[in-house]
Amino acid sequence: MFVIGSGALHLKGEISEKADVVEVEIKKFPDGEKYVRVLGEGEEAIVVQSMYHPQDEHLIEVLLLGDALREKGFRRLKLVVPYLAYSRQDRVTKEGEPVSIRAIMRMLGLYYDELYVFDIHNPKTLGFFPGKAYNISPARVIAEYFREKLGEGIVMAPDKGALERARSVAEILGLEYSHFEKKRISPTEVQMTPVDVDVKGKNVLIVDDIISTGGTMIKAANLLRELGAEKIFVVATHGVFAEGAIERVSKAVDDLAVTNTIPTPVSKISIVPEILNV
């Protein structure tokens, strides 16, 4: 049975069509502190909570849900996190900093036996979780969404670090894949060049894990236009859009889509089929 947190309410309807959902009461006290109450009974539960709230409300809430479920007698808890906050803070760059994602993982491990994260920024950080932890790829649902649109096109990664994501989507579709090579020209200018691929007259899909400002995607799309690409599509797992980014990227490409790990106006691809397989 599933328990749906505030950060995943946009997924509740689709999940409840295929699985049992335990009702929970979630509200705030007058001072702003969170209150949760589990209204169902059981032995095992799968908590679904996306952590995109800027004030960390979803993070606090998932800890309270874990405690409430344990208090209610649930013996085994799985946590599915469509978008995991702090996942990009995975190293110390200045003395005195924390490894923030390590701290988050350890907190979650206080209550949850298994952790499932969608397309985590650095899969190695799953090792910080005390129990079993899994990285779920959205490649299948992304590929199915773009299958007809892309046709016999090419799948591209915006940089070498995202090549594995592009490869996963391309192999499902049976298509060629490649990536852009980035070279820093100055502190403010980066040169991008496609590696060993001819895009002239072909549709191209650019795949990444996160879109924030969208600057890299726009630069890549403009370069592909110059090289003669036909239609250009952009997809990411997580739409962490800065103000105006959706509009800017949409103007530069033929279709912009992200999964619904975070609810946005362009969250066109559902991850619920993958959640139901946990």
Question: What residues are annotated to the active site?
Answer: 182
Residue carrying structure tokens 């105006």: 244
Please give the single-letter amino acid code of residue 277.
N
* Cα Rg of the chain (Å, integer): 20
Nearest to 62 by CA among 138, 8, 131, 136: 8
- φ, ψ of residue 107 in degrees (nearest 5): -65, -45
Question: And the tokens for 154?
Answer: 């090419």
Q: Which residues does 19 contact at the CB level (< 8 Å), separation at least 6?
A: 1, 2, 276
Residue carrying structure tokens 């600057």: 215
Please give the single-letter amino acid code of residue 170.
A
